[in-house]
Amino acid sequence: MLLPLTSWSHTTMTVSEILLFSAGLDSFPAWEVLGRPPCLYLDLGHRYAAQERAAIADLVEACGMDVEISDELQLGRWEQPDAIIPLRNAHLAMLAAQRADTVWCVGVKGDNTLDKSPAAFTEMSRFISGLTGRAVRVDSPFWSQTKTEIVAGYLTAGLPAEHLLLTFSCARDDGARTHCGTCSSCLRRWISLVNNGVQAPFDAPPWRWSRVADYYVDAMTSGRYPAHRAEEFFTALATVGHPAARAHPAARAHSAAEEVR
């Protein structure tokens, strides 16, 4: 079931803060960490919008979330083959700033794309504030945390793991709700969950995705990704006995810890 679009025609702000919500594994824990603020989901007409909206419906039913769903911003025509939409977060922040002074747009430690980084959000805040004549803050609660750490914090707070499994983090475009296991979003989802002892369903095991062996192992080893990403990647591979994990210090530490148990 999809939640209906929300009719929104106010000309003044209605809330002090708002969370740009994607139904993903980052934005749902952010909702809890931030004290359950009102959320805004913008259906951009992108390839996996239907699955995200279905996940939102599940989360609203399970958790009583307050989510406005709008299709006022159609950016799907600009979606690239890798599912990136250039300037997406800038567009989202500007529309969210019509509703609130504080706009939460979730980025995590190591995110450094042109429109998703601490510097980019600082610049968006300055730009939107200058054009609106009021102080607007665009920020993320997770700049100092990795995806694995975000999930760990959520679980440590005693929040239900089953709600994490209602989220959607996949680039598949066939409308299916199960995560494909063969895209970068699924790989990051699997890493953050399995490193916290949470098993999630995938159509195909993410660690067997051909790009893991063909690209990620070498990229993580050679320093093309931040050290924390490499550590979490190889630690996750160690949980399934992947041969590439054996030589990495993080994986050896995981194996030693398992032996102690």
| Domains assigned to the chain | 17-139 (3.40.50.620), 179-260 (no CATH)
Average pLDDT over residues 62-85: 81
pLDDT at res. 5: 55
Rounded to whole angstroms, the maximal C-alpha distance in the chain is 61
Cβ-Cβ contacts under 8 Å for 162 (sequence gap 6 or more) = none
Give CA–CA dist 190/184, Å, rounded: 10
Give CA–CA dist 117/108, Å, rounded: 8
Report DSSP letters for 61-123, one per residue.
HHH---EEEE-S---GGG--TTS--TTHHHHHHHHHTTT-SEEEE---TT--BTTBSHHHHHH
CA distances from 248 to 223, 245, 254 (A): 13, 6, 10
What type of residue is 235? T
Judged against a pLDDT cut of 80, whether residue 212 lies above it is answered with yes
Say if strands 67-70 and 39-42 run parallel, antiparallel, or are unpaired.
parallel
Give CA–CA dist 245/231, Å, rounded: 10
Q: Is 17 in a helix, a strand, or coil?
A: strand
Q: CB 109: neighbour CB atoms within 10 A?
A: 18
Q: Which helix (H) or strand (E) is 211 found in, with range?
A: helix 210-211
pLDDT digits (tens, 9 = 90+) for 164-207: 999 999 999 899 999 999 999 999 999 999 999 999 999 999 99
Token code pair at residue 11: 């000309």
Q: Which residue has the higher pLDDT, 13 or 9?
A: 13
Q: What is the mean pLDDT of the chain?
A: 89
Token code pair at residue 93: 């922040």
CA angle 3, 37, 171 (to 5 degrees): 50
- DSSP code for 6: P
pLDDT digits (tens, 9 = 90+) for 82-134: 667 678 899 999 999 999 999 999 999 988 888 999 999 999 999 999 999 99
Q: Of the ranges 6-20, 26-40, 219-233, which one carries the lowest mean pLDDT score?
A: 6-20
Count CA within 13 A, CB hemisphere, residue 183: 18
